[in-house]
Amino acid sequence: MMRSIQRLLYFLSAVFLFTSCNKKEWDEYYGRPDDLAPPIYQQLQAMGKFNTLLAVIDKSGYKDILGRSGAWTFFAPTDEAFQKYFQENNISGIDQITPEMARKIATYGLVYNPFRKEELTAYQTAVGRIANGAFRRRTAYYDFVYTENNKKVVDNSRNGATVIPNENNNKYIPYFISSYFDFNQINQNSTYTSFYPGQTPSDFDVAGAKVIEANVPAENGIIHVIDKVITPLPNIEQYIASKPEYSDFKKLLDSLVTYIPNADFTDRYRILTGSSEQVYIKTYNAGLAFSPNNESYLAGSTDGQAAAWSIAVPTNAALKPLTDVVLEYYKTFSAAPQSLLLNLVNSHMWKVTVWPERVNSELNAQSEVATFSSTNVVERKVLSNGFFYGVNKAQEGNVFRTIYAAAFLNPSYLNMTRAIDGSDLRSITQIPSLHQTMILMNNNDLLAAGYRFREDLNQWEYVAPGTSPVYGAIPLARINRIVQSAVLTTPSGEFDNLSGTGIAEGNNGEYVKFENNRLQASGNVVDNSFVTVTGSRDYVNGKVYYASGVLKFAEDGPVTVGSTLEGLASSKASSFSHFFNYLKNSSLWNNSTKEIAGVDKGAFSTLFVPTNAAIEQAIREGRLPGTISGATVTPSFLLSQQSGAQKIAVEDFIKYSFINKATVAIDGKKAAAYQTLLKTSTGDTRLIKVEYDGSNAVANFRLKDDSATPVSATANLSNSNNLSNRALIHSINQVLKF
C-alpha cells in the first residue's frame, strides 16, 4: 500500500521532468513497482476461485472501479459460496443474476477505504482513532428510488425532515471480530448465536459469513475472503415491513411518515431513467427517537462505525394490550394527541447499540430500562442500520404505567396534564420507584375554579370571582401551585386508604389532609370546602384519586399563620388560646395584617403551640408571666404591664415555637434538627429537634429543645397538623426550654 502512495507522488513530480527523460528512463524510474499487488479485480482473477464473483462484478458495472481506481475494502465470496447461494435461492447460475442484483452483491461487500482486519475495529473520528470502538463500516450500496403509495420515494439519511443534498443513505455492513468483543466485555459466543442461531462464531465474521482468508493486499485496497454471499441487509423499516406479525406496529410508524418533494432526486431520477415523475423524500416525524429508514446514524459521518439504532417491536398480539390501555379514552390515535403515539413508539426505541446481553440494562430513548425480559425476545436480527428485537411483551413506557398516565391518557384531565407538563412534575410523576399519590382534578372543575388553558394564546387564564381574566405569570403560578400540591409523597402508602385521617406533603412543600374520603388543602380549610373522591386507580408507583372539586391554596395576604392561629384560638381554645393571647399582646403581632414579625410572608413555617395547661405549668415554674392563686393559674397577657425581662421571655417563647422556612407535619417523617426564629445573644440560631424514637410511628413523635437537659414534648394529634398558608400548626403538651 505504501508503494502505491509512493508511486502516485513520483508520478506527480515526474510531470515536471518528463521532457528531460526518455521512455526507457521513465519506465525504469516511474514504472509500476514489480512487488505491487494488482488491483482488486485482477487480484481476484489471479487467486483463481472467484469466477462467479468476477462475473457478478462485470454485470454490476464495477469492473472498471475495482480494476484500477479507488481505495476499498472488499468482502469477496468464493465460487463455492456462490454455489451455496444459488442452491438456497433456487438460482440456476449467473445468467439469472440481474444487473441490479449484481450491483447489490458487489457494492454491499465494498467498504470505503482499505482496512486490514486489525484496523476494522478502530473507530475513526475527527480527532483520531479509538481502538476497539467500531463494529460496522459504510458500504458503497444504497437503495435508490422505489415506489410507495403511488409515489416515487427515496429514504431520508437523517432523522426528521432534514434532508442532506446529494447524500445517498448508504447502508452499513456489520462485522464480528474477537478483539472488539473482548475489549468491550461482550460475550461473543452468546451474542453471535443470538443473532445467527445454529452458527458458531469465528475470530472474524461479517454479516453471518466467515472470513476464511483476511488481509489479501491489492493495489487499490484490501480483500477479505468470505464463505457466504452477502446481499444488502434490510434496515429496520424494511425488516418490519417484511414481517406480517409486526404489521400493527408498522401501521403506527406509517402514521408518522411525511413525503417531501425533492428537486435534486427528481432530477437525478430523470437523468437515469428518462422519467419526469416527482421523487419524494420519505421522512418521519421529528418527535420520533430516530427514523427507522435512516442508515446514517446520528451525524451521518463516522459515528455509524461505533453505534447503531436498536428497536424492540412487539408482535401484534403483544401490542394490543398496550394500545388498549393507551386508547382507553381516545379510542383511536387519530383522535388522541400525537404525543401518545410518539411516546408509545419511542419507548420501544434505543438510540444506542443494545447487545443481547444488555437488553435489560441499556436505557431506551426515554431513559427507561426495558420492562420486558430476555425471555420475551422471540427474534433477534442484525440489520443495516441497527439491531432488531421482536418481543412478545410490549415495552411499558413510564408515561403509561405510572400515576402520570391517569391524566395523560384521559382527555377529561387534559388541563391538569398541561399543568404537570409545564412544571417539573412530568419527570417526577414518572419515576417508577418513587411511591406517590396524585389527586386528579378534571377540566370542568378547574374551569369552575377560574382556570383554563387558552390554546389560541398558548397560556393560562385565571378569572377570580367578580373580576376580569388575567393571563401570563399569575395564572401560571397559581395553577402550578395547585397541581404541585396535588402530587403527594407517600412512600409508605399513607394515602392508600382514605377512610380514616391522614396528611401528606405535596411536591411544593404544602400539605393535603384527608378524613373519611374527603380532602382539604389550606384554601379548602379557609372556606370550609372539601374535595371528594369519586374513584381511584393503582399504578406501578402509587395511587390516583379522581376528585370532585379543586384543591385550593390559602391566598397570600388575607391568610397568614397568625390569622389561622386566631381561628384556632377560638375553635380549639384549650389548645391554642393562651399562646395566641400572649402573641397578640406582644410586639411581634401586627393586628391589621395578622402577620408575625420574623415569619416571612409567603415563606414556609411550622408552629408548635403548647396547650393552655402546658403554659400554665410554665407559669408555675416561673418561666412565663402570670399569677398563681392556689390551683388557679392566670397568664398575664397584658405585656405592657410586665417587666422588660418578662416581655423578652414571652417573645423568646413565641420565637422558639416556630420552625423557620420549613414545614414539618406530624407524620413520621422529617426527623431532624430545625432552625427556629430565636437567636442567642451572640446571633446563633436556636434549634429544636423532631424525633420519632426510631420507629417512625406518628404516635412516637417527640419535640426536644437544644438544652443540655432537654424537655421532650409530645403532640396532641387530634389538634395538630392544622393547615395554614404554607404552614402547619401543631399542639404539644410541654413548653420547651426557650
Domain end marker among 373, 399, 425: 399
Q: What range defines the domain where residue 18 resides?
A: 1-35
Q: How many CB atoms lie within 10 A of CB 433?
A: 6
Q: How many residues comprise the chain?
A: 738
Same domain (yes/no): 118, 208? yes
**Can you give the pLDDT at residue 6?**
38
Distance CA 663, CA 661 (A): 7
Q: Quick one: pLDDT band at residue 432, thresholds 50, 70, 90?
A: very high
**Residue range 292-329, pLDDT digits in tens:** 999 999 988 999 999 999 999 999 999 999 999 999 99
Distance CA 378, CA 315 (A): 9
**Residue range 594-638, pLDDT digits in tens:** 999 999 988 999 999 999 999 999 999 999 999 999 999 999 999
Same domain (yes/no): 128, 184? yes
Instruction: Evaluate if residue 173 carries a pLDDT over 80.
Output: yes
Element (H, E) at 182: helix 178-183
Residue 657 phi, psi (nearest 5): -85, -10
Query: Residue 461: beta bridge partners?
Result: 452, 471
**Residue range 574-599, pLDDT digits in tens:** 999 999 999 999 999 999 999 999 99
**Nearest CA-CA partner of 75 in 101, 112, 122, 48:** 112
Distance CA 441, CA 549 (A): 7
648 contacts: CB under 8 Å, gap ≥ 6: none
- The answer to the question of residue 160 being in a domain is no
Same domain (yes/no): 534, 568? no
**Residue burial 472-495, b: 16+ Cβ < 10 Å; e: rest:** eeebbebbbbbbbbbbbbbeeebb
**Residue 675: all three cell numbers together:** 432552625
Instruction: Evaluate if residue 26 carries a pLDDT over 50.
Output: no
Residue 311 phi, psi (nearest 5): -145, 140
Same domain (yes/no): 597, 643? yes
- The answer to the question of residue 291 being in a domain is yes
- The answer to the question of residue 191 being in a domain is yes
Same domain (yes/no): 27, 78? no
Q: Quick one: pLDDT band at residue 231, thresholds 50, 70, 90?
A: very high
Q: Quick one: pLDDT band at residue 19, thresholds 50, 70, 90?
A: very low
Domain end marker among 548, 579, 610: 548
Same domain (yes/no): 85, 188? yes
Map grid coordinates 441499556 to a residue.
Answer: 362
Instruction: Evaluate if residue 165 carries a pLDDT over 90.
Output: no
User: Is beta strand 542-548 parallel, antiparallel or unpaired with respect to 595-596?
Assistant: unpaired
Strands of the sheet containing 309-314, edge to edge, are: 349-350, 309-314, 386-391, 377-383
**Can you give the pLDDT at residue 299?**
87
pLDDT averaged over every residue in the chain? 94
Q: Quick one: pLDDT band at residue 1, thresholds 50, 70, 90?
A: very low
Q: Quick one: pLDDT band at residue 12, thresholds 50, 70, 90?
A: very low
**Nearest CA-CA partner of 521 in 546, 544, 498, 488:** 488
Distance CA 345, CA 353 (A): 17
**Residue range 445-487, pLDDT digits in tens:** 999 999 999 999 999 999 999 999 999 999 999 999 999 999 9
Distance CA 638, CA 514 (A): 39
Distance CA 302, CA 324 (A): 41
**Residue range 406-426, pLDDT digits in tens:** 999 999 999 999 999 999 899
8 A C-beta contact, residue 545 and residue 440: yes
Looking at residue 626, the DSSP 8-state letter turns out to be E
Long-range CB contacts for residues 530-534, cutoff 8 Å, separation at least 24: 531/439, 531/441, 533/498
Same domain (yes/no): 267, 218? no
Domain end marker among 200, 229, 258: 229
Looking at residues 690-712, what average pLDDT do you find? 91
Looking at residues 708-732, what average pLDDT do you find? 97
8 A C-beta contact, residue 694 and residue 673: no
CATH number of the domain to which 266 belongs: 2.30.180
Out of 154-168, 223-237, 274-288, pick the least confident: 154-168
Coil, helix or strand at residue 584: helix
- The answer to the question of residue 147 being in a domain is no
Distance CA 31, CA 53 (A): 30
**Can you give the pLDDT at residue 35?**
64
Distance CA 523, CA 549 (A): 12
Q: Quick one: pLDDT band at residue 653, thresholds 50, 70, 90?
A: very high
**Can you give the pLDDT at residue 699?**
85
Same domain (yes/no): 259, 379? yes
**Can you give the pLDDT at residue 166?**
84
Q: Cite the beta strand spans of 316-376 per DSSP E.
A: 349-350
Distance CA 490, CA 695 (A): 17
Instruction: Evaluate if residue 8 carries a pLDDT over 50.
Output: no
**Residue 337: all three cell numbers together:** 394527541
**Can you give the pLDDT at residue 5?**
36
Query: Residue 608: beta bridge partners?
Result: 730
Q: Quick one: pLDDT band at residue 514, thresholds 50, 70, 90?
A: very high
Instruction: Evaluate if residue 220 carries a pLDDT over 70.
Output: yes
- The answer to the question of residue 148 being in a domain is no
Give the type of residue at 286.
A
Distance CA 225, CA 80 (A): 12
**Nearest CA-CA partner of 605 in 686, 684, 509:** 509
Same domain (yes/no): 705, 612? yes
State the burial class of residue 248 (Cβ atoms within 10 Å of its Cβ: 0-12, 13-18, 19+). middle
H runs (alpha helix) in 257-300: 263-273
**Residue range 546-569, pLDDT digits in tens:** 999 999 999 998 999 999 999 999
Instruction: Evaluate if residue 278 carries a pLDDT over 60.
Output: yes
Instruction: Evaluate if residue 346 carries a pLDDT over 70.
Output: yes
Q: What is the DSSP track for 28-92?
A: HHHSPPTTSPPPHHHHHHHHSS-HHHHHHHHHHT-HHHHHH-S-EEEEEE-HHHHHHHHHHTT--
- The answer to the question of residue 294 being in a domain is yes
320 contacts: CB under 8 Å, gap ≥ 6: 248
Greatest alpha-carbon span in the chain: 137
Look at the chain and report how many structural domains it folds into: 5
8 A C-beta contact, residue 399 and residue 428: no
Distance CA 83, CA 78 (A): 9
**Can you give the pLDDT at residue 34?**
58
Same domain (yes/no): 542, 569? no
**Can you give the pLDDT at residue 32?**
54
Distance CA 136, CA 385 (A): 10
What does each C-alpha distance from 568 to 533, 664, 729 come to in angstroms?
A: 27, 18, 9
**Can you give the pLDDT at residue 20?**
41
Query: Residue 607: beta bridge partners?
Result: 658, 729
**Residue range 72-88, pLDDT digits in tens:** 999 999 999 999 999 99
CATH number of the domain to which 209 belongs: 2.30.180.10
Same domain (yes/no): 504, 537? yes
Distance CA 599, CA 593 (A): 12
**Can you give the pLDDT at residue 399?**
97
**Residue 719: all three cell numbers together:** 389538634
**Can you give the pLDDT at residue 642?**
87
What does each C-alpha distance from 555 to 431, 466, 480, 522, 561 come to in angstroms?
A: 31, 16, 14, 9, 12
Distance CA 338, CA 139 (A): 36
- The answer to the question of residue 644 being in a domain is yes
**Can you give the pLDDT at residue 17?**
35
- The answer to the question of residue 256 being in a domain is yes
**Can you give the pLDDT at residue 697?**
80
Same domain (yes/no): 18, 93? no
User: Is beta strand 436-441 parallel, antiparallel or unpaired with respect to 487-489?
Assistant: antiparallel
